Amino acid sequence: MLEVNELSVSYGRINAVQALTISVAEGEFVGLVGHNGAGKSTTLLTVTGTLRPAGGDVLFDGKSIVGLAPDEILRRGIALVPEGRRIFGRLSVGENLKIGATTRKDKKGVEEDMRKILDRFPVLQRYWNKSGAKLSGGEQQMLAIGRALLSRPRLLLLDEPTLGLAPLMVDRVFEILDDLHKEGTTILLVEQNAARTIEVADRTYVLRSGGRIQFQGTSEELAKMGDFETAYIGMG
């Protein structure tokens, strides 16, 4: 479904990502982990059209999406849950959610999906008319995920969804992602929490600084690497 081929992205003279190649098959849950500065978020921002690559290509269903506007990429079926959640604090929870459906014209389908999201996240129903800014960090993350799901994405991208959350809420986010995957959602997850990501994902790419792949494989393959944890901690 998604192919990132020899992708390079620069910020001025700084090479944030260098010749990165990754793929995500339909129905797959793929992790992309690494420390700060490894190029994880840059990769997602390039896939979604916010950044332009210096080289390489991004293919979705076999067609290049490089150069397309972010809203067009969203219409094609790629939705991003951004780092920091990006909730609109002056809008209500309900208004924040409805933003996720702005590219859709099937009103009945949107209403059906909204019901499913509120069933999945009852807290959003409870705080429907409250400001998004009043929610806790974990509740805001549920809102951000629900907003992305309302676009009915074929590929769901998540950028550091557990960042800054309490341990119990971290567990809850991973449970939600596991459930979505079992229901057939295709997921590309960017995380610093390597161990939890490898545990839940079908495959994981481990990046080192500059967006270069250090390791890759299934949870079983990475578990066999006795020095993985030491190597990961020491990566720079």
- Angle of CA points 196, 199, 203, to nearest 5°: 115
Name the CA dihedral angle for 108, 179, 177, 85, rounded to a multiple of 10 degrees. 40
What pLDDT is stored for residue 226 in this prediction?
A: 57
Asked if 5 contacts 55 with a C-beta cutoff of 8 angstroms, the reply is: no
Tokens of 127: 């705080």
Q: Which residue has the tokens 């994981």?
A: 204
Q: What is the mean pLDDT of each run of 10 residues along the chain (236 residues)?
A: 96 88 97 88 95 96 96 95 85 94 91 95 94 91 95 96 91 94 97 89 89 85 67 52
Name the CA dihedral angle for 52, 58, 62, 65, rounded to a multiple of 10 degrees. -20
What pLDDT is stored for residue 12 in this prediction?
A: 85
Q: Which residues pair with 74 in a beta bridge?
A: none
What pLDDT is stored for residue 236 in this prediction?
A: 46
DSSP the chain: -EEEEEEEEEETTEEEEEEEEEEE-TT-EEEEE--TTSSHHHHHHHHTTSS--SEEEEEETTEE-TT--HHHHHHTTEEEE-TT----TTSBHHHHHHHTTTT---HHHHHHHHHHHHHH-HHHHHTTTSBGGGS-HHHHHHHHHHHHHTT--SEEEEESTTTT--HHHHHHHHHHHHHHHHTT-EEEEEES-HHHHHHHSSEEEEEETTTEEEEEE-HHHHHT-TTHHHHHHH--
What pLDDT is stored for residue 219 in this prediction?
A: 83
Homologous superfamily of domain range 2-86+153-234: P-loop containing nucleotide triphosphate hydrolases (3.40.50.300)
What pLDDT is stored for residue 212 in this prediction?
A: 83
What pLDDT is stored for residue 215 in this prediction?
A: 84
What pLDDT is stored for residue 73 in this prediction?
A: 96
